[in-house]
Amino acid sequence: MLYQIYETQRSLMEPVTDFAQAAAKLFSNPMSPLSQTAFAQRMSAGYDLLYRLGKDYEKPVFDIHTVDVDGVGVAVHENVELDKPFCELRRFKRFSDDTDTLVRIKAQPVVLVVAPLSGHYATLLRDTVRTLLKDHKVYITDWKNARLVPLSEGEFHLDDYVNYVQEFIRHLQATYGNCHVISVCQPTVPVLAAVSLMASRGEKTPLTMTMMGGPIDARKSPTAVNNLATNRSYEWFENNVIYRVPDNFPGAGRRVYPGFLQYTGFVAMNPDRHASSHYDYFKDLIKGDDASAEAHRKFYDEYNAVLDMDADYYLETIETVFQEYKLVNGTWDVRSPEGKVERVRPQDITTTALFTVEGELDDISGSGQTEAAHDLCTGIVRKEQRHLEAKGAGHYGIFSGRRWRDIVYPEVRKFILSHEVPQKKAPRPAAVTEMPDDNPPAPPRKAVAKKAPAKAAAKPAAKARPATGAAAAPEPEAPVAKAAVTAAPASRARRTTAARKA
């Protein structure tokens, strides 16, 4: 009943938020007589804040139309490459009428960004995608809101997530010969499982895996998120946070973990900070600081937009990742689309290089949780393993904002490039009007596929250079220090706690 009560309350609040929006404009529009009254600025700011606190936030858009490639503006067209019941494989296709730029972008690496399915939409990685587009062909998993998926499409399990990732990897391999995979936060676990299963079957695996801020081993440096999952039983989650979608949505009757409950949990982690942010927004409106007010709107338009997750997927993630630690204990079995049950064995991965990234101040995935992937992937030679701890970066700072762009991305780009299989240079076109970036002729693609096993000969990434940058907008962070990039040690058990937190 809670979901129905929430929807009823939201429907009742809709006229109030519409009135607040209209009143804010009446008190701020210079053509309105009300804008000339004594407290017009304060009244407009108050109504505007009321509107934003009560409005319904829809799924944002990526809004990436152009990127700069070596000083040349390149157009970006967004389209859906594969459409699955619970996810879209979204492609950011680049176009250019500059011949030299076109030749360069045709030869750039292909990257699959696996976005988290943990409350927010994939647009949370907008900055990640925009930055990657300068040097890569980019695809991203755009997960759907479960309340919009009809019951006729069936259930969605953690196994289905793993199978989706494998299907997307195979699609890119069939198109380009091979690809690189970047997973951010929650998907580090299913991505590692997907690549492990491919390796165990003898399939071609991605050239590299970059894992950023994820709970590979949630036992290390547990955070508030980990503690909630371990202090409550599986039955408690099933009985207290799972509800059926109301009748006014396409997914009516589907069991989900509702987005509004997830949002409540997000805010409850830092209530004082959010209250202060909204009060600052009110003061910015009174002062007429439009730039600061717009920055607030953009952040909360993204932060407040949440989606429902299918109940089976959510509960299985809680059990597998945070309660029974099946990945690190070697007890995780995944059912394939054909119904075959297979054991996840990360030690079988041998031809995929591994790069892990953690933020020094990450309060979502604690120190060492992502780095634990190196201990599991024992089949990858040490020179093909790297680790980065971004100094002064919190959870969002490792994939969005100044620290991502100045500290993390240069190392990710270097790592991917050092393991990219050389491609035959595409013939220089005599004249170019408007051509896509990633439609190479058939011969180069075949050449890439034949040369794929030789990638192990690529040189390892160089040591990181010091980088500095201002604080990222979404979170308060300490001044940027030198980024620590190291080759993964043979045994992380020897590392002291002081060394990890240095």
CATH 2.60.220.10, applies to 66-234+309-426+453-500: no
All residues at 6 or more sequence positions from 36 whose CB lies less than 8 Å from its CB, including other chains:
none
Say what the pLDDT of residue 496 is. 38
Token pair of 342 as six digits: 């297979």
Supply the pLDDT for residue 495. Answer: 41
Locate the domains of the chain by residue range.
Answer: 2-56+259-303, 66-234+309-426+453-500
Give pLDDT, residue 80: 96
What span, in angstroms and rounded, lies between the C-alpha atoms of 468 and 458? 29
Beta carbons of 308 and 146 less than 8 angstroms apart: yes
CA-closest candidate to residue 200, choices 345, 335, 330, 354: 345
Give me the pLDDT at residue 262, please: 86
Q: Answer left, alpha or beta for residue 131, where phi above 0 means left and psi between -120 and 50 means alpha.
A: alpha
Long-range contacts of 262-271 (CB under 8 A, 24+ apart): 262/118, 262/119, 262/306, 262/309, 263/119, 263/304, 263/306, 266/119, 266/303, 266/306, 269/224, 269/363
Specify the pLDDT at position 161: 97
Look at residue 422 in the predicted model and tell me its pLDDT: 64
Question: Dihedral through CA 310, CA 315, CA 320, CA 321, nearest 10?
Answer: 80
Query: Quick one: pLDDT at residue 487?
Result: 52
pLDDT at 6: 87
Mean pLDDT per segment of 10 residues, for the chain of length 502 residues? 87 92 92 89 94 91 93 94 96 92 92 94 95 96 96 96 98 95 96 98 97 95 86 92 93 94 84 92 92 93 93 96 96 95 97 97 92 96 96 93 95 96 48 41 39 41 38 38 47 39 36
Q: What is the DSSP letter of 351?
A: S
DSSP structure class, residue 84: -
Cross-strand partners of 314? none
Cα–Cα distance, 304 to 55 (Å, whole number):
10
Q: Rg of the chain over CA atoms, in angstroms? A: 24
| Residue 227 pLDDT | 87
10 Å Cβ neighbour count for 361?
18
Which of 123, 135, 126 minimizes the C-alpha distance to 74? 135
CA dist., res. 366 & res. 373, Å (int) = 14
| Cβ(40)–Cβ(27) below 8 Å | yes
